[in-house]
Amino acid sequence: MSTIEKEMLDGRPWDFPNQTGHWKDNIKHIGNESLIKQINDLLSTAVEPNILCENPMLQKIERYQRYITGAEMGEHWDNDPAFDHGIYDLRYGMIIYLNDDFDGGELEYTKLGISIKPKKNMFVIHPGLEKYSHKVNKVTSGTRYTMSSFLFNINK
């Protein structure tokens, strides 16, 4: 078990343990409420939601993702109408990288021709627009850990 998993583990199993290669295959809720509060306080300070959106709703980070060797995420954009967000207009996606001791797993913006090799503690924010379609390349060795959140505009 990695140090990251030891710090966040609460004894519950991974939420979707049998969907290998799918983004949901390794999502885990953080079992440490104090850590959840600390992470979200930092996120709301760093992002300043009221500057980015008129009626913001910042999704609380309560889970983290694990991409084991062979895992990847297909191309998508965060505000794709196929993802029914109801009264919420997804404005920005955010990713926090918890480690960098793995190979592969780059964040690739397919329409922009940009590829980002994650570094530990890196924070990436991007608009939810189709122009910012992205994917996670296959992890070729090691395990990639991230936390993600989204900033929504509430459509009243």
18-31: pLDDT as tens digits: 444 444 556 666 77
Average pLDDT, the chain: 80
pLDDT in tens, 111-145: 999 999 999 999 999 999 999 999 999 999 999 99
- Residue 53, pLDDT > 80, answer no
**Residue 12 or residue 43, greater confidence:** 43
Strands 123-127 and 88-97, bridge-based pairing: antiparallel
Q: What is the pLDDT of residue 18?
A: 41
Strand ranges inside the chain, DSSP E: 27-29, 56-58, 63-67, 73-76, 88-97, 103-104, 107-109, 114-116, 123-127, 134-136, 139-141, 144-154
pTM: 0.79
Which is it for the CA torsion 19, 118, 91, 149, positive or negative? Answer: positive
CATH superfamily ID and name for 3-154: q2cbj1_9rhob like domain (2.60.120.620)
78 CB-contact burial (10 Å; exposed 0-12 / middle 13-18 / buried 19+):
buried
Q: What is the DSSP letter of 43?
A: H
Instruction: Select the more confidently predicted residue: 94 or 4.
Output: 94
